[in-house]
Amino acid sequence: MARNADVVIVGGGVIGLSAAWEAAERGFSACVVDPEPGHGASWVAAGMLAPVTEAGFGEESLTRLSLEASRRWPAFAERVAVAGGEDPGFQACGTVMVAADASDRAAIDHLLGYQQHLGLEATRLSASECRDLVPGLSPGLRGGALMPGDHQVDNRRLVTALLAACAAGGVRLVAQRAGAVSLHGGAVSGVVLADGSTLCAPVVLVAAGAETGRLGGLPDGVLPPVRPVKGHVVRLQGPTGAPLLDRTLRGLVHGRPCYLVPRRDGGLVVGATSEERGFDRTVQAGAVHTLLDDARTLLPGVDELELVECIAGLRPGSPDNRPWVGPASVPGLVIATGHYRNGILLAPLTAEAVAIYLTSGSVPAPLDAFPPGRALEAGDALSTARRPAEVSG
């Protein structure tokens, strides 16, 4: 059968789009299949690039991967901007974490001790030091910490920029749902689309996030066990030129994590819940109420902002919170999914690893330690529901 592309990518989120673009940059013809490219978890996300504030107890290998990914971001953002002519909105802004009460302070100190033990850049702050860095903070807060290397990118501008870079690089977009991977002689031969047509390719990259398990056509157990983890996000808007924040603010509010990520245009993204509710994307009043209440507990000026959007998305969770990247047991099948809370942060590194794999047949370090089909590491096998980093925000 005639080949439609060298590689078909199932899933047009930041992982799939970045991988398609990097593959095209290396001379592969790439085709992305997604009914609404960039409008899944990538659209709902806040865009934090936070290897330190997301570091969880027992997740050292993920933290090392995240740090490596974070170092790639400035150059990646620049390359995407040049390739497609759209600025993805990367900001080296740093992050302040604050505690609402004494018990939140103790939890932050506990996490800080662990982060410092790993040699991560994180400094304890008194309440007045927090207010010096974030003047709009509520007066009653109990201090916190500075993570100067935890930055952000505007996730929606990033989607636009990646789509432009893909278009400039000749990546084909097919706005359909992928129904199944097709096989011939036990190897991948392409993807069957929702309308029944087939795209023929010797390689299929599955970058379908939380939807990964819905892809048909493969023997049981070939696709990794991704599960959806719901997150509510609220988007607020203030006047351009007078932002409430000039860096990311994360907080613990009576045990609940909350983050406020400021955009250059006066926007503020407030997130996020973490809920095990299957594929439910309903926006619930209680979740929105709690997010807003916690945000205004940290930063009272939030009350004056316009409420522009409430949305919920599905993170692609894995049993050990780590992604799967690399070839699967079926020849021609490549996996890049399960990035959970760090999809945007890990996109450049994942895309580069996929492109190198397509070229050389090997996944480079450090992602070679995250293969599909791996056994869980004892230290990384904490259940997501008890994940300590979420206690710390």
Nearest to 327 by CA among 369, 289, 363: 363
315 contacts ligand GLY (rule: CB under 6 A): yes
231 contacts ligand GLY (rule: CB under 6 A): yes
272 contacts ligand GLY (rule: CB under 6 A): yes
| 149 within 8 A of 121, measured Cβ to Cβ | yes
Please give the Cα distance from 296 to 132 (Å, whole number). 18
Closer of 272 and 367 to ligand GLY (Cβ): 272
Task: Give the nearest distance from C-beta 271 to ligand GLY in angstroms.
Answer: 5
Closer of 157 and 341 to ligand GLY (Cβ): 341
| Contact pattern from residue 121 through residue 140 relative to ligand GLY, giving x for each residue in contact according to CB under 6 A and a dash for the rest | --------------------
Please give the Cα distance from 100 to 239 (Å, whole number). 27
Please give the Cα distance from 44 to 206 (Å, whole number). 20
The full DSSP string for 273-342 is: --B--TT-----HHHHHHHHHHHHHH-GGGGGSEEEEEEEEEEEE-TTS--EEEE-SSTTEEEEE--GGG
250 contacts ligand GLY (rule: CB under 6 A): no
Closer of 326 and 343 to ligand GLY (Cβ): 343
| 231 within 8 A of 367, measured Cβ to Cβ | no
Torsion sign over Cα 88, 94, 99, 104:
positive
Tokens coding 190? 């392409």
| 173 within 8 A of 13, measured Cβ to Cβ | no
Closer of 19 and 50 to ligand GLY (Cβ): 50
393 contacts ligand GLY (rule: CB under 6 A): no
| Contact pattern from residue 83 through residue 112 relative to ligand GLY, giving x for each residue in contact according to CB under 6 A and a dash for the rest | ------------------------------
Closer of 231 and 251 to ligand GLY (Cβ): 231
Directed axis angle between helix 155-168 and helix 14-25, to 10°? 30
Select from 151, 232, 341, 387 the one that contacts ligand GLY (CB under 6 A).
Answer: 341
Task: Give the nearest distance from C-beta 121 to ligand GLY in angstroms.
Answer: 18
Task: Give the nearest distance from C-beta 315 to ligand GLY in angstroms.
Answer: 5
232 contacts ligand GLY (rule: CB under 6 A): no
Task: Give the nearest distance from C-beta 311 to ligand GLY in angstroms.
Answer: 12
48 contacts ligand GLY (rule: CB under 6 A): yes
| 390 within 8 A of 257, measured Cβ to Cβ | yes
User: For binding to ligand GLY (CB under 6 A), which residues are involved?
Assistant: 48, 231, 271-272, 315, 341
